[in-house]
């Protein structure tokens, strides 16, 4: 890398490798089966937001049940649960919490964070005209739509949708525990959405390897691209493991094999085997859902503190280490499933080692802000909120990674609070920050600052109160997933805590209306966005209009420096600006391109 | 060499670059597939390690058919490799012959596999018959499905050849198909050794 000198030939080669697509004119290939990464990104955005609403409403039903068990749900109760006078029945409750989890993880965060921003950002940020395989990209989106359709269909079959918990553990998820076709449809939906994820991952990985613009070395890539790229690698390698578990489960359910059936159900299989497969996928999955956000944070901290990202390489190496470690810690989900104590110790050690790179990331974010000229824009607020909730989530995770404390906390609301602070709150608040940041580029209009700030405070106070409430309940011994927790005398004193938590959840949900209003109003009537409203130097802002032309770049950009050049005294003296674009030559510094050493 | 079309050198350079991009994409995708089969194999090994005996007492697993199928599968990899080599050398006729041979070997593999399932069924093994039934039917049928996928691509290329189309332009497709085919071949070897031989 260090001895690579960019030549005219390199630049010409890049120009040929990435031919500009002509914008199609017919309706179908322009608005439905588009192969343009920007449009596919927006399609994923809409699909994800729609299912976020779906999953969010299911969450509200759960919160209602925990505050007022078995009482009629106001407004929608009579329509949803006509046979019980509007109250949530136990089977309906099982379906609600199961589908809340599955929808949020696979059909809301994944398309929003990876589908939308991966597609929209990766080519723009590395100076490519499109993905490596644009058609595969289109298939990826429509495969994803099929999986969403399967999820919706599962609600309409006899006995309803999946009800075995989001982890889908057998024997609950076999025909013994959930006999309806809904469970099969949902497992199939997971398999299909996995195929969509893998298609996307193949595209992202190959695009970053092959289509970086001349001069865009690995360490000149914005951290956002690093996060999305590492996430894609984890997706690529571990989603197929869930796929295999799903196939075997479908065989068990529909063809009578006995991979996971045993005991009283009469079989020779091993239900614990499913737990292994699920968590071999599942633990990388939680990092799949946070790595892109880490990338956003590294970039946003620098962009809005007007300082270079502190120890950028360290942050990148930290993300790489976490990606590697994430593959070898899954056993900490199974401390109480019957595990050799020695193996448990090894998993505990590896798990706790992850806090080292995570600390490096944290310190680098804080160092980047230290003595910076912080601009509290909406994306920056969301980034700061993400650091806060992720910090809470990370700290509470240590107690779950440690065997001695996990034995008590396992399967309590503590676990629920912990993983909602990390993979739910941090992932969503981080993604909303990214949405506010790239919205002007996507739609060519600015969002409303005030509404954005209202959205921020409702969201961040909301998630903190709700999930800290759950942590407290869990610490006091409340088991997760209970239909009516207060049937247990030892939980009865937590009734007020649960009500209080629910009120915060309802307030947070109402606060999301500020986002809905802002989103639609800005798309149609927002202030026209300038080319570079945030004064940052990455390619999508300096080289593209808002929104960019169909083929992104008229000429493939030639990158001269990294993405975080802020308040460089030299730049300040020569241009009067505190930032400089990645492709911009300083006045008086013009050199022949043949001599431009790329790092 | 009459089939080689004169192209402008920039177009050739672009085609080469696109082929490299495609090959990298194929390798990345195969890594994902490998993880899928690895997980299936992990499941098999866990179940087999827990079983009291493998195969269950009173049952001998067929060895002749799977062995024959292994020979068929390995041979098909060689013919496919030859097909690509001949196409690159501009020898269209030899390439198409080898491609047709690969196609035939692939079909033979699937046919023999069906025969194998019939034999197992006749021996009284059902889906629910212990791990033998689960593993032999589920895992081998998933593998056979992948072979069918390769056969479909080969059929598409053969159809182009039969119609006298520009096979040369599909050399990269043949190369990617080959990468996939060798991978599926390797998966079968692992299955054969792990399930039938040991």
Residue A599 predicted with pLDDT over 60 = no
Contact across the interface for A257 and B127, Cβ inside 8 Å: yes
Of A241, A243, A257, the CB nearest to B128: A257
Question: Taking the model in full, what pTM does it have?
Answer: 0.95
pLDDT at residue B168, rounded to an integer: 85
pLDDT (mean) for A549-574: 93
Interface test with A, best of B20, B24, B28 (most A CBs within 10 A): B28
Candidates A16, A236, A267; nearest CB to B32 = A236
Q: Determine the pLDDT at residue B1.
A: 42
Alpha helix positions (H), chain B: 9-50, 64-88, 92-122, 130-162, 171-191
Does A598 have pLDDT greater than 50? no
Q: Is the pLDDT of residue A295 over 70?
A: yes
Per-residue pLDDT tens over the stretch A150-185 = 999 999 999 999 999 999 999 899 998 899 999 999
Q: How confident is the model at residue A5 (pLDDT cuts 50, 70, 90)?
A: low
What value does the mean pLDDT take over residues B87-94?
93
Confidence of residue B5 (pLDDT cuts 50, 70, 90): low
Of B10, B13, B25, the CB nearest to A202: B25
* Residues from chain B contacting residue A280 (CB–CB below 8 Å): 39
Distance from CA of A203 to the nearest CA of B (A): 7
Tokens of A256: 């009578």
At A384, the pLDDT band (50, 70, 90 cuts) reads: very high
* A277 inside 8 A of chain B by CB: yes
* Chain B residue at shortest CA distance from A200: B29
Has residue B63 got a pLDDT over 50? yes
ipTM exceeding cut-off 0.90 for this assembly: yes
Q: In terms of pLDDT, which residue wins out, A287 or A594?
A: A287
User: Once rounded to an integer, what is the mean pLDDT over residues A398-410?
Assistant: 95
Q: Nearest by CB to B32, which of A198, A211, A251?
A: A198
Tell whether B40 lies on the interface with A, counting CB pairs under 8 A.
Answer: yes
In chain B, where are the structural domains located? 9-197
Asked if the Cβ–Cβ distance from B127 to A256 is below 8 Å, we say: yes
Q: Mean pLDDT over all residues of chain A?
A: 93
Q: Do B43 and A244 touch (CB under 8 A)?
A: yes
Q: How many beta carbons lie within 10 A of that of residue B169, not counting itself?
A: 12
Residue B121 near chain A (CB below 8 Å): no
* Poorest-pLDDT segment among A136-150, A327-341, A384-398, B47-61: B47-61
Question: Which of the residue ranges A46-55, A204-213, A257-266 would you say has the lowest mean pLDDT?
Answer: A257-266
Query: Which residues in A lie closer than 8 A to residue B138 (C-beta atoms)?
Result: 247-248, 251, 255, 257, 259
Query: Does residue B113 have a pLDDT over 80?
Result: yes
**Contact flag B138-A257 (C-beta cutoff 8 Å):** yes
Q: Which of 125-164 (A) contact B at CB < 8 A?
A: 132-133, 136
pLDDT at B136: 87
pLDDT value of position A9: 72
Q: Is A251 on the interface with B (CB under 8 A)?
A: yes
CA dist A45 and A117 (Å) reads 8
Flag if B36 and A237 touch (Cβ within 8 Å). no
CB nearest A277 (choices: B31, B33, B43): B43
- Give yes or no for A19 touching B (CB within 8 A): yes
Token pair belonging to A576: 């009067």
Provide the number of CB pairs (under 8 Å) joining chain A to chain B.
113
Give the confidence band of A268 by pLDDT, cuts at 50, 70, 90.
Answer: confident
What's the fold here for domain B9-197?
Answer: 1.20.120
pLDDT of residue B190: 96
B46 inside 8 A of chain A by CB: yes
The yes-or-no verdict on residue A312 having pLDDT over 50 is yes
The CA distance from B66 to the nearest CA of chain A, in Å, is 22
pLDDT in the model for residue B123: 86
HSE-up (13 A, CA, CB side) for residue A550:
13
Residue B198: pLDDT over 90: no
Residue A18 pLDDT level (bands cut at 50, 70, 90) = confident
Tell me the β-bridge partners of A182. Answer: A161
Of A133, A240, A268, the CB nearest to B36: A240
Please answer yes or no on whether A132 and B43 come within 8 Å at the CB atom. no
Q: How far is CA A180 from the centre of its chain?
A: 30
Instruction: Give the number of other Cβ atoms within 10 Å of residue A374's Cβ.
Output: 16
Q: What is the mean pLDDT of residues A102-118?
A: 97
Cα separation of B64 and B67, whole Å?
Answer: 5
**B56 and A CB contact within 8 Å:** no
B122's CB contacts (< 8 A; 6+ apart) are none
Half-sphere exposure of A337 (CA within 13 A, CB side): 17
The reported pLDDT for the residue numbered B6 is 60
Please list every residue in chain A whose beta carbon sits closer than 8 Å to the beta carbon of residue B40.
244, 247-248
What pLDDT digit, counting tens, does each position of A224-255 carry? 999 999 999 999 999 999 999 999 999 999 99
Phi, psi of A579 (to 5 degrees): -140, 160
State how far residue A227 is from chain B, nearest Cα, in angstroms.
Answer: 18
- Calculate mean pLDDT across residues A101-119: 97
Q: What is the pLDDT of residue A77?
A: 92
DSSP symbols for A338-367: T--HHHHHHHHHHHHHTHHHHHHHHHHHHH
């Amino acid at each position: 890398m260090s001895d690579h000198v960019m030549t005219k030939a390199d630049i010409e080669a890049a120009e040929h490798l990435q031919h500009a697509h002509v914008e199609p004119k017919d309706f179908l290939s322009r608005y439905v089966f588009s192969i343009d990464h920007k449009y596919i990104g927006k399609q994923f955005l809409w699909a994800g937001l729609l299912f976020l609403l779906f999953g969010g409403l299911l969450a509200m039903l759960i919160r209602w049940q925990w505050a007022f068990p078995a009482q009629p749900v106001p407004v929608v109760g009579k329509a949803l649960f006509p046979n019980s006078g509007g109250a949530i029945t136990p089977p309906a409750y099982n379906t609600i919490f199961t589908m809340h989890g599955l929808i949020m993880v696979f059909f809301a965060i994944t398309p929003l964070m990876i589908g939308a921003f991966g597609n929209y950002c990766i080519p723009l940020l590395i100076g490519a005209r499109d993905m490596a395989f644009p058609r595969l990209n289109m298939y990826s989106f429509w495969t994803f739509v099929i999986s969403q359709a399967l999820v919706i269909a599962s609600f309409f079959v006899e006995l309803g949708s999946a009800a075995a918990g989001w982890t889908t553990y057998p024997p609950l998820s076999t025909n013994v525990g959930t006999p309806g076709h809904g469970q099969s449809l949902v497992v199939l939906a997971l398999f299909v959405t996995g195929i969509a994820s893998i298609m996307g991952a193949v595209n992202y990985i190959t695009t970053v390897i092959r289509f970086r613009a001349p001069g865009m070395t690995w360490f000149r890539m914005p951290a956002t691209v690093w996060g999305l790229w590492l996430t894609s690698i984890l997706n690529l390698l571990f989603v197929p493991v869930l796929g295999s578990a799903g196939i075997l489960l479908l065989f068990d359910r529909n063809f009578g094999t006995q991979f996971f059936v045993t005991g009283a159900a009469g079989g020779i299989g091993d239900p614990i085997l499913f737990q292994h497969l699920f968590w071999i996928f599942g633990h990388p999955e939680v990092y799949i859902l946070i790595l892109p956000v880490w990338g956003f944070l590294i970039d946003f901290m620098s962009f809005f503190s007007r300082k270079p990202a502190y120890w950028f390489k360290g942050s990148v190496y930290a993300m790489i280490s976490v990606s590697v470690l994430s593959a070898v810690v899954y056993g900490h989900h199974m401390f109480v499933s019957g595990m050799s104590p020695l193996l448990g110790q090894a998993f505990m050690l590896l798990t706790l080692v992850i806090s080292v790179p995570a600390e490096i990331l944290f310190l680098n974010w804080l160092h980047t802000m230290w003595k910076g000229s912080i601009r509290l824009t909406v994306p920056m607020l969301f980034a700061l909120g993400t650091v806060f909730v992720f910090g809470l989530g990370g700290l509470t995770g240590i107690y779950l990674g440690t065997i001695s404390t996990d034995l008590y906390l396992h399967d309590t609301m503590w676990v629920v609070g912990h993983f909602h602070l990390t993979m739910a709150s941090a992932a969503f608040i981080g993604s909303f920050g990214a949405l506010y940041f790239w919205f002007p580029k996507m739609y060519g209009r600015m969002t409303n600052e005030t509404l954005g700030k209202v959205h921020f405070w409702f969201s961040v106070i909301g998630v903190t109160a709700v999930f800290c409430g759950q942590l407290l309940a869990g610490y006091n011994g409340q088991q997760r997933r209970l239909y009516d927790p207060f049937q247990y005398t030892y939980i009865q004193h937590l009734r007020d805590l649960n009500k209080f938590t629910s009120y915060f959840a309802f307030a947070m949900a109402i606060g999301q209306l500020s986002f809905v209003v802002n989103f639609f109003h800005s798309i149609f009537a927002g202030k026209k966005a300038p080319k570079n409203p945030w004064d940052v130097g990455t390619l999508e802002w300096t080289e593209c209009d808002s929104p960019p032309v169909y083929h992104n770049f008229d000429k493939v950009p030639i990158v001269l420096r990294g993405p975080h050049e802020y308040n460089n005294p030299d730049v300040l003296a020569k241009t009067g600006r505190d930032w400089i674009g990645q492709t911009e030559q300083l006045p008086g510094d013009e050199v022949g391109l043949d001599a431009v050493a790329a790092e | 060499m009459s089939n080689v079309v004169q192209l402008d050198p920039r177009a050739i350079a672009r085609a080469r670059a696109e082929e490299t991009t495609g090959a990298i994409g194929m390798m990345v995708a195969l890594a994902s597939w490998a993880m899928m089969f690895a997980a299936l194999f992990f499941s098999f090994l866990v179940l087999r390690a827990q079983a009291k005996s493998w195969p269950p007492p009173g049952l001998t697993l067929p060895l002749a058919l799977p062995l024959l199928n292994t020979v068929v599968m390995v041979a098909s990899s060689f013919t496919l490799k030859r097909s690509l080599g001949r196409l690159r050398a501009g020898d269209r006729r030899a390439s198409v012959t080898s491609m047709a041979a690969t196609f035939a070997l692939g079909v033979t593999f699937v046919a023999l596999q069906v025969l194998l399932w019939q034999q197992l069924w006749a021996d009284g093994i059902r889906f629910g018959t212990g791990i033998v039934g689960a593993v032999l039917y589920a895992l081998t049928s998933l593998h056979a499905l992948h072979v069918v996928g390769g056969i479909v691509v080969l059929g598409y290329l053969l159809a182009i050849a039969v119609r006298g189309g520009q096979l040369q332009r599909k050399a990269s497709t043949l190369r990617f198909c080959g990468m996939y085919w060798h991978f599926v071949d390797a998966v079968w070897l692992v299955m054969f050794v792990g399930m039938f031989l040991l």
